[in-house]
Amino acid sequence: MRFAYESYDIPKSPLDGSTEIYRPEIPIRLLGARGEFFSLALVDTGADSVVIGATIAERIGVKLNPKKRWLLHGFSGEPVEAALGHVEIELASRTESICWSLPVAVVTYPELTSEEIVVLGQTRFLEYFNVRLFGNEHVVDLKPNASFPKKRGR
């Protein structure tokens, strides 16, 4: 499955003067007990887990396990409390769709504007794919590998 990176306008970079950045974000659908949520999600090879905001989890009816809580440390090093939840996730390209269940870290981000961010990390996401990033083409290629759970979809 191939996905084009998303383009974002940024303040002028002191590194190279650019005002645009491309990020490997892919369209996903999350399903919970009460509904679904469509979003772009960042493919993050440095993230340990799949992380979703608490507002998304609440909206789609993700049941949280109160006994499974821990601290996540992101790029800034600031700890964020996470709770264990489970969702179904679907990836769809023009020719293929795959869906599976996975555990997620549900977090309340310190900045309220970040509540709908979805990060796709190693556990139960990237470990299931052979991933190629084509930086000059702004494309990410995901191919399910042998550890991928039984396939469902079109």
Hey, where are the domains in the chain?
2-144
Q: Which pair of tokens denotes residue 45?
A: 């090879």
pLDDT at 29 over 90: yes
Structure confidence by residue, pLDDT tens digits, 33-51:
999 999 999 999 999 999 9
pLDDT at residue number 25? 95
Measured at the alpha carbon of residue 115, what is the angle toward residues 10 and 105, in degrees to the nearest 5?
115
Give the model confidence (pLDDT) of 125-135 as tens digits.
999 999 999 99
Q: Measured at the alpha carbon of residue 150, what is the angle toward residues 58 and 126, in degrees to the nearest 5?
A: 60
Distance in angstroms (rounded) separating the CA atoms of residues 85 and 52: 10
Contact 52/32 with Cβ under 8 angstroms? no
Residue with tokens 């470990």: 127
DSSP class of residue 55 equals H
C-alpha 87 chain-centroid distance: 12
Q: Which of 56, 83, 58, 85 is CA-nearest to residue 72?
A: 83
| Contacts of 149 by beta carbon, 8 Å cutoff, 6+ apart | 100, 101, 128
| Model pLDDT, residue 114 | 61
* pLDDT for the residue numbered 105: 96
Interacting residues of 75 by C-beta distance below 8 A, sequence separation 6+: 46
How many helices (H) and strands (E) are present in the chain, helices listed first?
Answer: 1, 12
Q: Does domain 2-144 have CATH number 2.40.70.10?
A: yes
- Is the pLDDT score of 75 beyond 80? no
Helix or strand or coil: residue 119? strand
pLDDT tens by residue, 77-126 = 788 899 999 999 999 988 899 999 999 999 987 665 566 789 999 999 99
User: Sorting pLDDT into bands at 50, 70 and 90, what band is 152?
Assistant: low
